[in-house]
């Protein structure tokens, strides 16, 4: 539900808006492709007596089919409010200012089910799984075929104050606009990622391995080690324990470093600051507008589920992902030319990106996805659109648009080989364009016909900035055509989309080490009938 209240306070226009969303989902998603990266999958779905090929060994025993799936339940609530004041639009000085508040809560429970685990003959019965202490959306035990459960609650609270002032230095010719925004954001994370490690042949749940977010991100300066099947190593450490003290308790150097990091984990991801913008607009005539703009933007940070994990070679997964920030420099135009026969709008821009956020899956670091501020980057580009409707050819309209991009990772911030300086940004083709021609003519006093061919093109592009996860999508050209007849009340159209049956690669990913490419619809021919009443 959403609501709006509008009114006036003296000379000020006042607008208050609010919204509340409550959304729940239940899904079941196939997960069989995990077999391509699931290093421990045979442990769960194969008989305990299975042997593997090797020196002097013949394969034997039974492994069940990897018919894996995930059941997912989520609940999202969002509450937003905004209050905005504006001075009269006809004034030479114009000001808009206000405040914004948003409170979001996401609860999500994902059960990773391995049905083969129920059929396999393990090393004795598995103890039932239970969630870690603290937040949980469902008590245990987990269903029999659920080997892992991710059960989290994330909260995002945002507060902002904004203002913008415009002044007509030369009325109807030169206007300057300045704006600023203050933001204060806090993201919290709790719950657990729990599994069945160490439960084979056990009477009770070992609650080992996984991630106990309730402990990691409580900000109390303490952390209990759970990364071993050895119950004697389950010890609680605090800020008084040195790295040497933790290792002396029996942990490996990598485990000790991870615990030392976890003790110092924050309780939330917090950020605040200001962003600014400014625009100069010149309108020499009613048909010509030119502008120059500088603006700043950001994306909030978050907490990483495997925060503090280390690869033992100097890289530690950050607990808190910082905001990434952009600075945009833009020159633009909006032109009506040739007595209104031509409209030409466009802009040239340069965008400087700092601390680009990206998601990484690198098993050499940790077997969980994590996010990092991976790089600095820049984008240079030109984009424009035009419409041409010549008076000499009534009924003819030619319209098109294009964008030219030059993107580059300028500096790598993450000390791994996952991101490479000089590479392109994701989903940023160097050129895209489309052209549409429409011709309309009268068949009678009440009937009008039209034909409309269209062609669109995209250069190749990459799907990611992470080297081990990126795919290159091919360039493509797609041609469409439509023709029809219209009257005042009804319309009949025949159409052919993708006339040459091009398999345009429009998106893709490399989840679980398998390339998945999404293409456009194949050749589609049909007709449409419409009636207005």
| Most confident listed range (245-254, 344-353, 511-520) | 344-353
> Token pair for residue 500?
């040459």
pTM beyond 0.85: the answer is yes
Contact assessment for residue 204 and residue 184, using Cβ atoms and an 8 Å cutoff? no
pLDDT exceeds 70 at position 54: no
Residue 527's Cβ-count burial label (10 Å; 0-12, 13-18, 19+) is: exposed
| Among 362-371, 486-495, 523-532, the least confident range | 362-371
Residue 315: what pLDDT? 82
pLDDT exceeds 90 at position 122: no
Q: Give the list of residues 6+ apart from residue 430 with CB closer than 8 angstroms, or none.
A: 404, 405, 406, 459
Residue 190: what pLDDT? 94
Closest CA to 139 of 128, 126, 147, 154: 128
Contact assessment for residue 493 and residue 526, using Cβ atoms and an 8 Å cutoff? no
Provide the pLDDT confidence category of residue 57 given band limits of 50, 70 and 90: low
Interior/surface letters 98-130, b for 16+ CB within 10 angstroms, e for the rest: bebebebeebbbbbbbbbbbeebebeeebbbbb
The answer for 493, left when phi > 0, alpha when psi is -120 to 50, beta otherwise, is beta
Q: Give the list of residues 6+ apart from residue 426 with CB closer than 8 angstroms, or none.
A: 461, 462, 463, 464, 465, 470
pLDDT digit string, tens, across residues 345-386: 999 999 999 999 998 877 778 777 889 999 999 999 999 999
* Residue range 404-421: mean pLDDT, rounded: 93
């Amino acid at each position: 539900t959403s609501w709006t209240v509008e009114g006036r306070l003296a000379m000020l226009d006042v607008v208050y808006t609010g919204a509340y969303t409550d959304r729940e989902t239940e899904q079941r998603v196939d997960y069989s492709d995990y077999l391509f990266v699931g290093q421990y999958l045979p442990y769960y779905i194969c008989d305990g007596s299975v042997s593997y090929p090797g020196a002097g060994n013949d394969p034997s025993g039974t492994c069940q089919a990897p018919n894996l799936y995930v059941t997912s339940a989520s609940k999202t609530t969002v509450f937003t409010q905004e209050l905005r004041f504006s001075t009269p639009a006809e004034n030479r000085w114009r000001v808009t200012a206000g405040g914004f508040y948003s409170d979001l809560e996401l609860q999500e429970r994902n059960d990773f089910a391995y049905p083969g685990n129920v059929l396999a003959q393990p090393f004795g019965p598995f103890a039932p799984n239970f969630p870690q202490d603290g937040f949980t959306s469902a008590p245990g035990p987990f269903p029999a075929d659920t080997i892992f459960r991710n059960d989290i609650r994330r909260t995002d609270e945002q507060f902002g104050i904004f203002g913008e002032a415009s002044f007509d230095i030369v009325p109807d010719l030169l206007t300057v606009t300045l704006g600023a925004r203050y933001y204060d954001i806090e993201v919290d994370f709790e719950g657990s990622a729990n599994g069945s490690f160490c439960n084979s042949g056990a009477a009770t749940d070992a609650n080992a391995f996984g991630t106990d977010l309730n402990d990691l991100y409580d900000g109390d300066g303490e952390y209990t080690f759970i990364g071993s099947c050895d119950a004697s190593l389950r010890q609680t450490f605090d800020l008084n324990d040195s790295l040497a003290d933790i290792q002396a308790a029996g942990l490996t150097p990598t485990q000790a470093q991870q615990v030392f990091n976890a003790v110092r984990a924050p309780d939330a991801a917090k950020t605040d600051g200001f962003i600014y913008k400014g625009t100069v607009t010149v309108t020499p005539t009613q048909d010509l507008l030119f502008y120059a703009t500088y603006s700043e933007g950001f994306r909030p940070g978050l907490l990483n589920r495997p925060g503090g994990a280390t690869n033992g070679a100097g890289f530690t997964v950050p607990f808190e992902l910082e905001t990434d920030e952009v600075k945009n420099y833009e020159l633009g135009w909006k032109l009506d030319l040739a007595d209104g026969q031509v409209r030409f709008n466009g802009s040239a821009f340069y965008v400087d990106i700092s601390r680009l956020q990206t998601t990484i899956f690198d098993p050499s670091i940790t077997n969980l996805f994590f996010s990092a501020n991976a790089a600095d980057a820049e984008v240079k580009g030109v984009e424009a659109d035009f419409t041409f409707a010549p008076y000499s050819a009534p009924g003819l309209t030619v319209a098109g648009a294009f964008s030219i991009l030059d993107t580059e990772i300028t500096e790598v911030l993450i000390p791994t080989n996952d991101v490479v300086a000089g590479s392109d940004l994701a989903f940023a083709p160097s050129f895209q364009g489309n052209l549409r021609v429409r011709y309309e003519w009268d068949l009678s006093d009440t009937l009008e016909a039209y034909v409309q061919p269209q062609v669109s093109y995209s250069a190749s592009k990459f799907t990611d900035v992470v080297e081990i996860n990126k795919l290159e999508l091919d360039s493509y050209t797609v041609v469409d055509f439509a023709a029809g007849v219209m009257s005042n009340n009804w319309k009949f159209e025949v159409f052919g989309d993708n006339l040459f049956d091009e398999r345009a690669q429009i998106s893709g990913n490399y989840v679980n080490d398998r390339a998945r490419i999404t293409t456009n619809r194949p050749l589609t021919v049909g007709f449409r009938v419409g009636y207005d009443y």
